[in-house]
Structure 1
C-alpha cells in the first residue's frame, strides 16, 4: 500500500511525522491538492468509515496539517474519503486523546484496518512511541480489521463510544 501526504507544513518540523516518514522513504509528500494522487483519503469529516472493503484501492492519502487548521475545506483532495473510527493517540503531544492521531498514527491505523499490520509496524518503528499506539489500540484495531464494511466498523466503534460515556 502506497502512502501519500498532502503536506501543509504548518506543524513543528521536529515533531512532524509525515516529514520523518518521507525522510525514510515510507511516504511521499505533495505540496498541493492537485499534485496529490487519487486514493483513499483519511478524512475525519468523511461520512463513511474506513473498512477492509477499501483495501483494493492500493493507496492511502493523509493530510498533514495542524489540528487547528484541519477544517473540512482543507480536505479538498480527490479520492475516496474515509474517516478513521475511534482510536486513542499514543504520540507525546496528544497521548491518550481519542480521535487526535498524528499522520503516522492515522496511516498505521488505516493499514491495520486494511489488513496490513506488518506495514503499520514498519512505519511506526521509526518512532520511539510507535509500538505504544498499537498496544493502546490492539483490540479495536483487531476488531475493525475483522469487519466486512463501513457499517460494521461503525457498529464496533459505537461499542467503544458507549464505554466512554
Structure 2
C-alpha cells in the first residue's frame, strides 16, 4: 500500500512520525495539496468509517498539529474515511481515544484494509509502536473482519458503550 502525507510541518520535527516514516522510505511527504495523489484520505471529520470495503492501494494522511486539524485542512482529493475508535499508544497522547499520530493512523488504516504486515512494519520504527498494536489488538482485528462501514460503526459502538460505563 502506498502511503502519502500532506505535510503541514507545524509540529515538533523531533516527534514527527510522518518525517520518520519518510526517512525510512515508507511514505512520501507532500508540501502542496495539489501534489498529493488521489487515495483514501484518513480524515477524523469524515462521515464514513474506514472498512475493508474501501479497496485502495493509496492511503493519504494529513500531518498537522491537532490544534489546526479542522475540517478545512483535510481538503484533499479522494474518498474521506474516519478511523474508528482506537486508543493512542504514543508518548504524547498515550491512552487518549481518537488522538492518533500519523504513523498510528497509517498502521490502523493498513491493518483494517488487510495489510497487517505493513501495519506492523510501520509501528516497528518506533520504540512505543508495539504499545499501539497491543492496546488496539482486539478492535483492529474486529474492524478488519467487518464487511463495510456500517459494521465497523456497529463494532465501534460496542467500545464506546464500554467507555461510557
- TM-score normalised by the chain length of structure 2: 0.99
Tell me the equivalent position of 1:127: 126
Q: Moved runs in structure 1, 4+ residues, more than 4 A?
A: none
Structure-2 residue corresponding to 1:79: 78
Supply the RMSD in Å over aligned alpha carbons.
0.4
Partner of 1:138: 137
Residue 57 (structure 1) shift: 1.5
The CA deviation at 1:128 is 0.2
Measure how far apart 1:83 and its partner are.
Answer: 0.1
Asked whether 1:62 is paired with 2:36, we answer no
* Equivalent in the alignment of 2:97: 98
Between Structure 1 and Structure 2, how many residues are aligned?
A: 164
User: 2-side partners of 1:120 and 1:139: how far apart?
Assistant: 15
What SS does structure 2 have at the residue aligned with 1:121?
Answer: helix
Secondary structure (helix, strand or coil) at the match of 2:35 reads coil
Q: When the two structures are superposed, what TM-score results if normalisation uses the length of structure 1?
A: 0.99
Q: Counterpart of 1:148 in 2: which secondary structure?
A: coil
* CA-to-aligned-CA distance 1:2-39 (integer Å, 9 cap, x gap): 00000000000000000000000000000111111100
Residue 9 of structure 2 corresponds to 9
Gaps (5+ residues) in structure 1?
Answer: none
- 1:124-146: per-residue Cα shift (whole Å, max 9, x none)? 11100001100000000000000
What CA distance in whole angstroms lies between the structure 1 residues aligned with 2:14 and 2:102? 14
Render the CA deviation track for 1:105-160: whole Å, top value 9, x for unaligned.
Answer: 00000011001110000011110000110000000000000000000000000000
Q: 1:23 aligns to what?
A: 23
